Amino acid sequence: MDANTPDVPAAPVYLLSPEQIAGPYFRNPKLIRRNISEGAEGVPLVLRLTIVDAMTGEPVPDALVDIWHCNARGAYSGWSKINPDVEVDTGDIGAVPRTDDDTYLRGGQFTDKSGIVRFTTIYPGFYAGRALHIHVAVRITAGNNYLQERHVAWVGQLYLPEVASRSVLGSRPYSGRSVPALTNAQDYFYSTMGGEKSTLSVHTLGRDSTGDGYFGQMTIGIDTFAVSTQIKPEDFDKYTV
């Protein structure tokens, strides 16, 4: 390079967030709401997710972000009668028959102009064979039929820091289970699908106590032109979804 040529700063690098399986408890309830708790008992959790275009680093507005997770005892709405203390031997969408039409701890929000969505929920519990986690799917919407949109660009799972989880699992709504929660490191999907890059930054909402709950946040980098292999368009035709 010529000594008189000014240095050109390198283009910033934005990383794709790792995808993880959607699991057997994915549904498409078409619930647009910030508060997904439906009165479920548990430690409050306020969640803020920022969706960015991994190719440009720019925020992604108007994306539909769905989250779903189990309650304090490990049960998912729609599958409330499945025993969470017994491992399910499949992770495929539609593989486990639904038991009910409950919708607690599920819902979606559209990202604002800064690519941000916010949810009010509870700290998730766990079910046999898994660490604590929250499922996320991001759809890039088009036109007025956004609730019919089947183009899922990104699917992931968000994990919780061990210190916070130990405190939560010791509280009354979560305790007294017949099986232990796996640590993040023991969880197969955390270990093999980039879980260390999918762990929420979490802090307490109250200054001196965990009683007020937690605030968790993460930035998720997606390819807005991608079509996820974890939730395919034909999955929306399965009766459990």
Q: 175-197: per-residue pLDDT in tens?
A: 999 999 999 999 999 999 999 99
Q: 115-156: per-residue pLDDT in tens?
A: 999 999 999 999 999 999 999 999 998 766 666 788 899 999
Q: 70-111: per-residue pLDDT in tens?
A: 999 999 999 999 999 999 877 899 999 999 999 999 999 999
Strands of 36-169, DSSP E: 44-53, 63-68, 106-110, 116-122, 133-140, 152-159
pTM of the model: 0.92
Say if residue 1's pLDDT is above 90. Answer: no
Give the total number of structural domains in the chain: 1
Please indicate, yes or no, if residue 21 is contained in any of the structural domains: no
Q: What is the pLDDT at residue 14? A: 63
The CA distance from 174 to 73, in Å, is: 6
**What domain range includes position 155?**
44-231
Give the CA distances from residue 201 to residues 43, 47, 197, 204, in Å, rounded to whole numbers and listed in that order: 17, 10, 11, 11
CATH number of 188's domain? 2.60.130.10
Per-position b or e across 168-192, b if 16+ CB within 10 A of its CB: bbeeebbeebeeebbebeebebbee
Say which range, 9-18, 54-63, 79-88, 227-236, has the weakest mean pLDDT.
Answer: 9-18
Q: What are phi and psi of 189, to 5 degrees?
A: -75, -35
Write down the residue that tokens 């699917």 correspond to.
155
Q: What is the pLDDT at residue 208? A: 61
The average pLDDT across 213-234 equals: 95
Q: Are strands 214-222 and 44-53 parallel, antiparallel or unpaired?
A: parallel
Specify whether the CB–CB gap between 214 and 44 falls below 8 A: yes
Sequence-distant (≥ 6) Cβ neighbours of residue 9 within 8 angstroms: none
